[in-house]
Amino acid sequence: MQNAQQLYTEYVTIMQKAADLNYAAAVLGWDQETYMPPKGADYRGRQLATLATQAHEILTSDPFGKIVHQLAGMDGLDDTQSANIRLSVEDYERNKKLPPAFVEELSRLTSESFNAWIASRRQNDFSVFLPLLTKMIALKRKQADLYGYKAHPYDALLDEYEKGATIAMLDPVFKGISEQLPILLDKIKAAPQVSNDCFHRHFPKQQQWDFSIDVLKGMGFDLEAGRQDYSEHPFTTSFAPADVRLTTRVDENNYASLLWSCIHEGGHGLYEQGLPGEQYGLPLGAAASLGIHESQSRFWENCIGRSLGYWKHYYPILQKYFPTQLSDITVEDFFKAANRIEPSFIRTEADELTYHFHVMIRYELEKALIQGSLNPKDLREQWNAHYNKYLGITPKDDKTGVLQDVHWSHGMFGYFPTYSLGSFYASQFFGQVQKDIPGLHEKIQKGELQPILQWLRNKVHQYGRRYTSEELCERITGTKLDPQFFIQYASKKYSQIYGISL
What is the set of active-site residues?
265
Quick check: 147 and 154 in contact, CB under 8 A? no
Q: Report the residue count for the chain.
A: 502
Give the helix, strand, coil percentages of the chain, each rounded to 5.
Answer: 70, 5, 30
Quick check: 468 and 163 in contact, CB under 8 A? yes
Whole-Å CA distances, 277 to 26, 100, 200, 251, 346: 17, 29, 42, 36, 36
Q: Measured on CA atoms in the order 165, 299, 406, 114, is the torsion positive or negative?
A: negative
Q: Measured on CA atoms in the order 409, 410, 413, 418, is the torsion positive or negative?
A: negative
CA-angle at 414, arms to 411 and 415, nearest 5°: 85
Compute the distance between CA of residue 98 and CA of residue 94 in angstroms, rounded to an integer: 8
Element (H, E) at 430: helix 417-436
Amino acid at 226: G
Number of CB atoms found within 10 A of residue 43's CB:
11
Element (H, E) at 180: helix 167-190
Element (H, E) at 132: helix 126-147
Angle at which helix 450-459 crosses helix 417-436, to 10 degrees, equals 110
**On the CB side of 72, how many CA atoms lie within 13 Å of its CA?**
14
Angle at which helix 256-274 crosses helix 450-459, to 10 degrees, equals 50
Alpha helices, DSSP H, located in 60-98: 62-72, 79-95
| 230: β partners | 248
CA-angle at 164, arms to 162 and 168, nearest 5°: 105
Q: What is the CA radius of gyration of the chain?
A: 23
